[in-house]
Structure 1
Amino acid sequence: MYPAQVGYYRPDSVEEALDFLDNNEGKVLAGGQSLIPMLKLRILKPKYLVDIGDLKELSFIREGEVVSIGATTRHSELASRKIPGLEIVQETASKVGDIQVRNMGTVGGSLGNADPSADYPALFTALDATMVIRSKKGTREVKAGDFFKGAFTTALEPSDILEQIKVPTYKGYRQAYRKVVRRAGDFALVGLALLLKMEAGEVKDVRISFTGVGERPHRPLEAENALKDTKLTDGDVSRAMELAVKGVNPPSDSRGSSSYRREVMKRLLKNTLEEMRGAS
């Protein structure tokens, strides 16, 4: 299927893009790896595409205690950049799609699309990241946990642009992003972002976030709380596995049933925790 007819506008700055969006019904286009398929299926029918993909002012990685990532930063840039205290970002970016998608797609485009099986929503939810959003009215900040509202739905208004993502660093944490896919390059059947801090053999902090199991990232706080101050024994891990799927009803589709996804959630968490427990 071909997209419906749509206008195209390519601004020279963020301010130009905001001016246009404030006066026209448009959809922001960055890398297009998420948006174009939705246009082809006619799920979206905007009057205009506002192409911000080449705006250099939105493409950056600024390191510090809080790392800032520009919205038009390509997946491939993140996949090739090891950020101290955020090694999980590089690992996650390297598992997004295939090499063509990573070279074209952007972090902001993926977050703004909010696909329920995408990798970044779960990642930045686990990291307690902050989304910096700009409009003609000014700039506002929204925590990742509040940014994702549902399937393909975020806190972004039609005249907004996601400018950057601010992420605190987690030095001293063991970090991993794991996902199960049917074929290389697919969206996650289930994906898991996990950060674990241990001191003197005890869990001092843990952050768990799943993708592919609901309309938005799933962060099982009960499982996190159950693991804190434990020795991460087999019993501790088993309890966390059950709490991680408590109240979760993943979708069933051609890739797997709801019950299968629940089992994958538990196995991913178990295997990753055991891997981290054995790390020096």
Structure 2
Amino acid sequence: MAHLRNLIACARNRLVEKLAYDQTEARIEVRALLAHALGDVSHAWLIAHEEDLIQPDVRDRFESLLARRIDGEPIAYITGKREFFGLDLKVTPDTLIPRPDTETLVEAALAKIPEDKKFNVLDLGTGTGAIALAIAINRPISQITAVDRSEKALAIAKQNGTTLNVSNTRFLLSNWFSSINDERFDIIVSNPPYIEATDPHLHQDDLRFEPLSALASGIDGLDDIRKIIETSKQFLNADGWLMLEHGYNQADQVSALLSIAGFQDIYSTKDLAGILRVTSGCLK
């Protein structure tokens, strides 16, 4: 039997060799997989037990998880969870994996929602519920509506809401606005599909495991964004905001689409990498 420390070192070197990771990135992923194989122990537990001997069944389970990662399967799908905006969310292959870039959209929305005023917020294409639940928890007197056209994704979002004990969010099966009826909102947020349908990256690395319908949107990647911008005007209150996540090179195009649709005070927000990631407009 191998010591935990040696198992980590060997697995780290395999990720460096197979996936061209640096040592730090490899160590983070190995610890995440090993923690999961051991029953979701904490990273502190792993550090404290580095000299422990690993039982054969645990080693076999870990090796199976490591093989899946080397084959390219995302860590979030292997472990079934992903941290987002301080929340632990359940993730499955039926949902897009929440990414740090999308936290920019949450922060932009929270900046528009007073803590002492009830806002009506709509999250289009909620997936795991990440955006809706992050807003709901940070603005508990506001009401959040989270919609998705996928029954399986919506079921995961509901589970996450229950696990996090969130009471100010409702979940609706809806293809964008199809089930909203006549309700109006102060803020509409969305991280819609925005990758070009012909982009080769859709069939590479982590993206090839994620639902294509949550990633690609027409020849230029903007089909769904166009639909959302045009239709949202029927569902926004006066002085309501539409806030959209988009691709790294789409800020100017999204700004132009908002302007043509009659939105004002249009601006874009940078993510942690300094990329214009979210574009917002106000409907006067």
TM-score, length basis structure 1? 0.31
Which is greater in Rg? 2
| Higher strand residue share | 1
TM-score, length basis structure 2? 0.30
| Higher helix residue share | 2
